[in-house]
Amino acid sequence: MIGVIADDVTGATDVAVAFRRTGLRCGVYFGTPDASGVEPGLDVVVIALKSRTIPAPDAVKQSLAAAETLQTLGARQLFFKYCSTFDSTAEGNIGPVLDALVELVRTDAVVTTPASPEHRRTTFNGHLFVNEELLSESSMRNHPLTPMRDSSLTRLMDAQSDGGSVVIGHEVVGRGPDAVSSHVESARHDARYLFPDAATEDDLFSIAQAVLEEPLVAGAAGLAGAIGRAHGSKSAAPRAYERENAPSGRAIVLAGSCSRRTLEQIDRMLSALRPAHRLDALGSDDPESLARGALDWYDALPAGPAPLIYSSLPPAERRVVQDALGVERSAEILESAIALIARGLRERGVTRFVAAGGETSGSLVAALGIRGGVVGLEAARGVPWIRTDQGLDVLLKSGNFGEADLLLTASERSA
Ligand SMILES: Nc1ncnc2c1ncn2[C@@H]1O[C@H](COP(=O)(O)OP(=O)(O)O)[C@@H](O)[C@H]1O
Ligand SMILES: O=C(O)[C@@H](O)C(=O)COP(=O)(O)O
């Protein structure tokens, strides 16, 4: 069994569907479950945390608890899923969590790459490219919580971890799995974190074949899918896990992501004249009053297409909010408001929740007390529907994923 610790919930569903596509049986749990509550016989168990932006010691503690549960369940390999845009700060949390996992599994090196060509994340000479732009020049430089202003993976990692990191260049990866294996064997004496370049699925497949026996690997959905393929031949075809029909219950779209793609998706909803309500933290910094306002607005809507409740703003306008209230506090206010709204909407009969943003989705999952779910159809690459343990359908959309019409189509009456 492969045990995955994901540092946010959208990342968890992304990595789960990457494994599931290759035919592996995959369960997703939100928060660390009791080992006794985990379905037996799974090939992959994904534990979704909300640890990307919390203080590093808390992220380490939660990740170790998840890892120990996965070990109890029989995980042969641990996979730490971080974001394909390496979302983190100089304090963490990718480095501190990996340092702790290295100690736990008693390994000396971790092969790791955020490359995920299916999401147009590639690496070359140890630099990360997002949609063909350097990470530091991409829209990620304006992320509200983890602005990424450097593209060098070794520099980013060295700032937040112990043990040093090195690049395994494309000239090695391009020679195939044996070349990667032998390079890993020599490089592991020099540094703890090894970043192989990967620009294509073939590169990732070579890397995956070289790391199948490693006790700990880390990266994004690209490496996960490649590891799944490398195991895949041994496994049966996808099972009853895949629900045949897209969900059709009463829907809501809740967006807190300020990522460029989400802003486009919101524009698309507004252009389609979907009812929309914006949460304005400058108008009120009290989550309860923001939530009450949103729910009163919802209650007054005539029957019609699924509405949108959002706090998302483009960078300049968002900075005004953050300057007035503080980065953490504004996020806290808006995430708490979304949590209260999600609860209120469930009481009103909503069963289909489309959430945009990793932190935002994490608040929603916690507020609704969702503990686990089954991976269903992909509404977009890396964005599967999840049928939760309580019978809700949730689409947890990473800020930057999905076509421009995703929020619109996922919330259609017969979607
Ligand atoms: N108008 C706003 N002002 C300040 N912060 C905001 C605003 N809208 C959303 N946020 C915060 O920005 C963060 C966006 O992160 P997240 O939900 O993970 O989206 P993404 O998936 O794009 O990273 C959340 O913590 C959210 O509460
Ligand atoms: O790897 C990725 O890009 C995603 O799986 C992911 O982690 C997304 O995070 P958010 O953009 O914060 O949703």
The best mutation among 28, 49, 51, 83 to test binding of ligand 2, ranked by most ligand atoms within 8 Å of the C-beta, falls on 83
94 Cα: distance to centroid of ligand 1 (angstroms):
20
Determine whether the shortest distance from the Cβ of 351 to ligand 1 is under 6 A: no
Q: pLDDT per residue over 147-204, tens digit each?
A: 999 999 999 999 999 999 999 999 999 999 999 999 999 999 999 999 999 999 999 9
Q: What DSSP line would sit under 247-300, residue for residue? A: --S-EEEEE---SHHHHHHHHHHHHTT--EEE--TTT---HHHHHHHHHHHHHT
- What's the mean pLDDT in 65-76? 97
Nearest CA to ligand 2 atom 12: 358
Per-residue pLDDT, 415: 42
Report the atom number in ligand 1 closest to the C-alpha of 52.
18
pTM: 0.94
169 Cα: distance to centroid of ligand 2 (angstroms):
25
- What the block records as the tokens of 233 is 């031949």
Q: What DSSP line would sit under 338-363, residue for residue? A: HHHHHHHHHHTT--EEEEESHHHHHH
209 Cα: distance to centroid of ligand 2 (angstroms):
24
Report the atom number in ligand 1 closest to the C-alpha of 87.
23
Say how many C-beta atoms besides its own lie within 10 A of residue 146's C-beta: 16
* Residue intervals in the chain for CATH 3.40.980.20: 251-410
Q: pLDDT per residue over 115-127, tens digit each?
A: 999 999 999 999 9
Phi, psi of 249 (to 5 degrees): -70, 180
CATH, range 251-410: 3.40.980.20
144 Cα: distance to centroid of ligand 1 (angstroms):
6
Q: Which of 90, 74, 85 is nearest to 157 (CA)?
A: 90
Nearest CA to ligand 1 atom 11: 331
Report the atom number in ligand 1 closest to the C-alpha of 317.
1
Determine whether the shortest distance from the Cβ of 265 to ligand 1 is under 6 A: no
Per-residue pLDDT, 214: 97
Average pLDDT of the residues of the chain: 94
* Residue intervals in the chain for CATH 3.40.50.10840: 2-232
Residue 131 Ramachandran class (φ > 0 left, ψ -120 to 50 alpha, else beta): left
366 Cα: distance to centroid of ligand 2 (angstroms):
18
Question: What ipTM does this complex have?
Answer: 0.98
User: How far apart (Å, rounded) are the C-alpha atoms in residues 228 and 218?
Assistant: 14
Nearest CA to ligand 1 atom 6: 331
Q: pLDDT per residue over 258-283, tens digit each?
A: 999 999 999 999 999 999 999 999 99
Determine whether the shortest distance from the Cβ of 122 to ligand 1 is under 6 A: no
Q: How far is CA 193 from CA 109, 124, 188, 210, 223, in A?
A: 6, 16, 8, 15, 15
- Upstream peptide bond of 93 is cis (omega within 30 degrees of 0): yes
| pLDDT above 50 (res 240) | no
Q: Are 363 and 339 in contact (CB under 8 A)?
A: yes
Question: What's the CATH number of domain 2-232, 1.10.3720.10, 3.40.50.300, 3.30.365.10, 3.40.50.10840?
Answer: 3.40.50.10840
Q: Are 372 and 30 in contact (CB under 8 A)?
A: yes
The best mutation among 54, 257, 264 to test binding of ligand 1, ranked by most ligand atoms within 8 Å of the C-beta, falls on 257
Report the atom number in ligand 1 closest to the C-alpha of 146.
23
314 Cα: distance to centroid of ligand 1 (angstroms):
11
**For ligand 2, which residues put their CB under 6 angstroms from it?**
8, 10-11, 14, 83-85, 119, 220-221, 357-358, 398-400
% of the chain beyond a pLDDT of 90: 92
Report the atom number in ligand 2 closest to the C-alpha of 10.
13
Determine whether the shortest distance from the Cβ of 321 to ligand 1 is under 6 A: yes
